[in-house]
Amino acid sequence: MWNTRTIASIFTGRAGLLVLVLLCGCDSTPTIDTVNRTADPTKLAAIAIEADDPEVRLAAVRKINDQAVLARVAMETQHPFVRDADLTFDCQKVKTFEASDRDVRLAAVSKLTDQDVLSSVAIKATDQNVRRVAYDRLSDEQTKAKTRIWLRPHLAREVIDQALLAKLATEAVDRDVRQAAAEKLTDGAPLEALEQLAQRSTSREVLRIVLAKVDDIAVLSRIADAAVSPAMRLAAARKAGKRTWSQIFKDASAPDAPDQLIGDAMVAVLLFERWHGNPAARPAYAQEHVPMAMAVSELIKRTLDRKRPFTPELLELLEYYGTDTYNGKMLAETYLGSGCVLKVAAEEWALRHGYKKVFRRRH
């Protein structure tokens, strides 16, 4: 049955859904028979993306031949249950729909033949398997060569065109490609150019590299005042010595502070290089303890209370700290009692880092 959240989204511009509900009725679920009676590719795309039954979704894809519609299905398919999942959702149900989503996306991309469309999907799709299949289906060598730059880090490092490098550093879906382009873009850049990048860019890869290269206190202070990225403002303020991590996370965790402040503070931490080895060799800003336990707990509490999707940075922080700091273990312990998505991430993290037993939360 279409739930109220799905029906409400019809009136906020989700293409095809209004037609689908008028066709099926608000109290019915699309079936194979529905697919057989439907010829409009937009309606079929809506069924492929929104229907609950995996076989119905795949049947809808098999009837679509419009290349633009297939591309949309390949890049955008995400069942509402997955899209709107919060920390309290049924983990197994999320995984089931995620698997169905993957099957639908791969079925759609496997029907694409238009070279320009395939190139666009290979460059823009968030699902790496979809990107790989789209690239493999390219037959035009010139199109394939242009597309390959967006998929291969070593090719991004060979790009000379500064405008293309800037696009790769900010728009490439693959993080390694963004990283490679950002490194090439900032290699040998004068301090003035680095300051402009720090103030204007929103690419985390670019900002991380620039932050590591800038040590001038006056420049850092200007970045802290004028950067477009709130996280970069916080990170620059910390590196310049204008604020401590304690101050940053205390302000972010205040009861009346917007939730986004906690996310910005987390991203600010992620903008710094990971420091391992001899603690005494670390700069002062890297030696300071980051008191994020309270902030993380507060963000999780707000997310659970309001049943909103979790903040992706929570997962990135877990990998950022690894096993060599208090924060890494603290995060894993906290995540174990914080709902499906974070619990699974904590268990997988523990296994990857050699822990035989899953952490127990402290009381």
29, 1 contact by CB (below 8 A)? yes
Query: In angstroms, rounded to a whole number, what is the distance separating the alpha carbons of residues 144 and 57?
Result: 30
Q: Using DSSP, state whether 232 is helix, strand or coil.
A: helix
pLDDT in tens, the chain (363 residues): 333 333 223 223 334 443 344 344 433 688 999 999 999 999 998 898 888 888 898 999 999 999 999 999 899 887 665 555 555 566 667 677 778 888 889 999 999 999 999 999 999 998 899 999 999 999 999 999 999 999 999 999 999 998 899 899 889 999 899 989 999 989 888 999 999 999 999 888 899 999 999 999 999 999 999 999 999 999 999 999 999 988 998 888 888 888 788 889 888 988 987 654 445 555 665 556 666 667 777 777 777 666 666 667 777 887 777 665 566 777 888 887 776 777 777 888 888 777 765 445 554
Indicate whether 200 and 180 sit together in one domain.
no
Indicate whether 170 and 129 sit together in one domain.
no
Domain count, the chain: 4
Instruction: Kindly state the tokens that stand for 357.
Output: 């037993």
Indicate whether 40 and 105 sit together in one domain.
yes
Indicate whether 231 and 285 sit together in one domain.
no
Query: In angstroms, rounded to a whole number, what is the distance separating the alpha carbons of residues 86 and 83?
Result: 9
Say if residue 320 is exposed, middle or buried (CB neighbours under 10 Å; 0-12, 13-18, 19+): middle
Question: At which of 104, 120, 139 does a domain end?
Answer: 139
Indicate whether 183 and 195 sit together in one domain.
no
Indicate whether 154 and 111 sit together in one domain.
no
Q: Which of 158, 98, 180 is nearest to 168 (CA)?
A: 180
Indicate whether 21 and 96 sit together in one domain.
yes
- Name the helix (H) or strand (E) containing 145: helix 141-148
Name the residue range of residue 178's domain. 149-187
Q: How many CB atoms sit inside 10 A of residue 326's CB?
A: 11
Residues 6+ apart with CB under 8 A from 180: 153, 154, 156, 157, 168
320, 353 contact by CB (below 8 A)? no
Indicate whether 116 and 233 sit together in one domain.
no
